[in-house]
Structure 1
Amino acid sequence: MTRKRKIVIFILILLTVAAAALVVISTSSDRLDGFFRALGTPVRAIQRGITKLGDNWGKKASVRREYDAVQEEIERLTRENEELRQKEREFNQIKAENEELRRLLEMRDRTEGYELLQAAVITRDVTDWFNEFTIDLGTRDGVVNGTVVITSYGLVGIVYNAGSSSAKVRCIIDEQSELMCRIQRNDELLRVRGTSNENFTAGLKADRIAKTAALYVGDVIVTANSGGVYPPGIVVGVVTEVGVDEDGNRFATVSSDVNFTSLTTVTVMVPKTAAEPDNK
């Protein structure tokens, strides 16, 4: 074999080996790509899951922060609302007290000669809820049996059991109460009695009305200067009904503007000429 022929054969062998190597490399590359592609699918799924989980946690954290912020705002508004309600209650109380004082000032011509003391209702008689109550003033304040109790809306009653620091008051609607009054419009006399009963209803009834007396629905009834117990001119109520009973006697139903069931404060009329309060 000539030298030239050997060289040609050698070159052909090299080319064959190179071609075979390329084939092997090409095949291996495809397999590796397939392997990595197969491996990448679950990896990417896991990555997407982790990413989604992170997004969900982020959203939940954001929602939680927003919820906490809303709760704080609700609590703040609740506090502000309660503060406003408290201020409204205080305002209404002051307004009511001012209205009471204004109306009492309008009565000054009927309360001349008396010192007007404000008293709080501290207890009520459980058996006579409408009719009797106890106030926080007593003999040391100049309050004695027979002291008259009013509000700016009219006559309430009279003290019947005065202690040192408190006193019991019997309301005019009590069935034991009776007083002489006048028709404000014409000064005609009549008697007004309490009509409380076991059904927890109470009112006022007028009788001993002269047949010639002009008495109509809407007439204002006031205290008369009779017996020296009640000062004259204190409003007792307004006539709501006029009639004749089975014996032919005239009567009238009188309605008071005083709300006896919700009294919390009253005004006590202590004569300025009364003896000094008992401070013992």
Structure 2
Amino acid sequence: MAPTGQRRSGYSRRAQYNLFTGYIIAGIGALVGVVLLVLSLFQPHLFGGLRGAASDTVSPATETSATVRTGSKSIWESVSGYYRAGSKNAALRREMEIARIRLAEADAVRQENLRLKGLLGLRDSEVKPVAVARLVGSTASSTRRFAYVGAGRDQGVRVGMPVRSPRGVVGRILETGGDSARVLLLTDTESVLPVRRAKDETVAFAEGRGDGLLRIRLINLGINPLEVGDLFVTSGAGGYYRPGAAVAILVEKADDGGLARMVSDPAATDFVSIEPIFEPEAVTAVATPTETELAD
């Protein structure tokens, strides 16, 4: 007799029935699948309800997963944004600093344009400047007060020529080079300029003190008619300066005159106009002229 484990299915009727039933179920399943496939191809709307029901069934689960995915993404973006905030703030600060610098530069350009327009206004007057140049430097720590301009003999500048800003007189040319010149400022201790009060014919001398102020010394002594706030202009005496150019404003009254400050502060002046000498024939010494000689 053969062992039980070596039997084939044909020797057991029960096994044969189970195998046959499996074949039948597989055939029916395949047939149903073919029928459903044909119906889905030619009548797709027949399964719309089933698809909707299936979608409704799985919708809560998909919404939950989508919410979790979106939330985790937002959290990650928040964390990464927090760590990037420092570099972003630093970049914004740099941009703001650059913007402030650009605004300051634009404001400086605007002010320089206004000053240049003032000098162009001088050009439109009856006096044609010899040159318009930048005031490139001045002495501030010495009793001698000099400045330097970026124009010289090559531009037609000569010793003794008046130097003006849009506001008023700055000084006169003391020495010239090829492309530069030295200016004797009105506040220098060797500068003496004939002036008059703008509202009348009260004449005086504006003498430099070396400290940024001018000493107004009246020619006719007696009762001092000056008042604080009086404006003094050039008188035209001596032949160097044209009459009527603003010089100084009185800030303190004294027995024989007073103290005045320059209308045109060299420290706040960028560009100046160099004008021809008012009366060249009246100037007899132009090598090293002084206003004291002119007063005499």
TM interval, short-chain normalised: 0.5 to 0.7
Contact 2:241–2:278 (Cα < 8 Å) also in 1: no
Contact 1:113 1:272 in 2 (8 A): no
Correspondence for 1:49: none
Shift of 1:222: 0.3
Aligned amino acid, residue 104 of structure 2: R
| TM-score where L is the length of structure 1 | 0.63
Counterpart in the other structure of 1:39: none
Q: Secondary structure at the match of 1:157?
A: strand
Q: Secondary structure at the match of 1:181?
A: strand
1:96 aligns with 2:103: no
User: C-alpha separation between the residues in 2 aligned to 1:67 and 1:118?
Assistant: 57
Which residue of the partner structure matches residue 233 of structure 1? 244
Aligned equivalent of 2:272: 266
Superposition deviation, residue 106 in structure 1? 6.0
Question: Match for residue 259 of structure 2?
Answer: 253
Does the residue aligned with 1:239 lie in a helix, a strand or coil?
A: strand
Separation (CA, whole Å) in 2 of partners of 1:226 and 1:92: 40
How do 1:183-194 and structure 2 match up within 5 A? 183-194=197-208
What is the CA-CA distance between 1:85 and the residue it aligns to? 2.1
Match of 1:218 in 2: 229
Instruction: Answer 1 or 2: higher relative contact order, Cα 8 Å, separation at least 6.
Output: 1
Q: Which amino acid aligns with 2:216?
A: A
Name 1:4's counterpart in structure 2. none
Tell whether the 8 Å contact from 2:160 to 2:277 is kept in structure 1 after alignment: no
What's 2:214 paired with? Answer: 204
**Aligned 8 A contact 2:218 2:257 in 1:** yes
In the alignment, which residue of structure 2 is the partner of 1:67?
A: 83
Asked if 1 retains the 8 angstrom alpha-carbon contact of 2:148 and 2:183, the reply is yes
Q: CA deviation at 1:240?
A: 1.3
Structure 1 segments unaligned to the other structure (5+ residues): 1-58, 245-249, 275-280
* SS of residue paired to 1:115: coil
Q: Distance in 1 between matches of 2:279 and 2:257?
A: 37
**Aligned counterpart for 2:167 among listed residues 125, 128, 153:** 153
Task: Give the aligned CA root-mean-square deviation in angstroms.
Answer: 3.2
Asked whether the equivalents of residues 120 and 265 of structure 1 are also in contact (C-alpha less than 8 Å), the reply is yes
Tell me the distance in 2 between the aligned counterparts of 1:136 and 1:213: 41
Q: Of residues 160, 175, 178 in structure 2, which corresponds to 1:164? A: 178
Deviations 1:210-250 (A, max 9, x none): 23663211111001111110111111111112221xxxxx1
Structure 2 Cα separation of the partners of residues 142 and 243 of structure 1: 41
Distance 1:74 1:181, change over 3 A: same
Alignment partners' CA distance in 2, 1:272 and 1:66 = 73
Q: How many Å separate the matches in 2 of 1:102 and 1:263?
A: 14
Q: Quick one: percent identity of the two aligned structures? A: 24
Distance 1:253 1:108, change over 3 A: farther
Aligned counterparts of 1:273 and 1:188: Cα–Cα separation in 2: 22
Is the Cα contact below 8 Å between 1:114 and 1:272 reproduced in 2?
no
Contact 1:114–1:271, Cα closer than 8 Å, also in 2: no
Q: Distance in 2 between matches of 1:254 and 1:226?
A: 20
> TM-score by structure 2 length?
0.60
Paired position in structure 1 for 2:145: 131
SS of the residue 2:263 aligns to: coil
> Separation in 2 of the partners of 1:68 and 1:266?
53
Alignment of 1:176-187 (within 5 A): 176-187=190-201
Shift of residue 159, structure 1, vs aligned partner: 0.8
CA distance in 1, matches of 2:227, 2:94: 53
- Matching residue's letter, 1:137: A
Q: Distance in 1 between matches of 2:139 and 2:261?
A: 23
Give the number of the structure whose residues are more often helix, by fraction: 2
Q: Deviations over 1:3-52 (max 9, x none)?
A: xxxxxxxxxxxxxxxxxxxxxxxxxxxxxxxxxxxxxxxxxxxxxxxxxx
The 3-state SS of whatever aligns with 2:129 is: strand
Listed as ranges, the gaps of 5+ residues in structure 2 are 1-74, 281-296
The equivalent of 1:44 in structure 2 is none
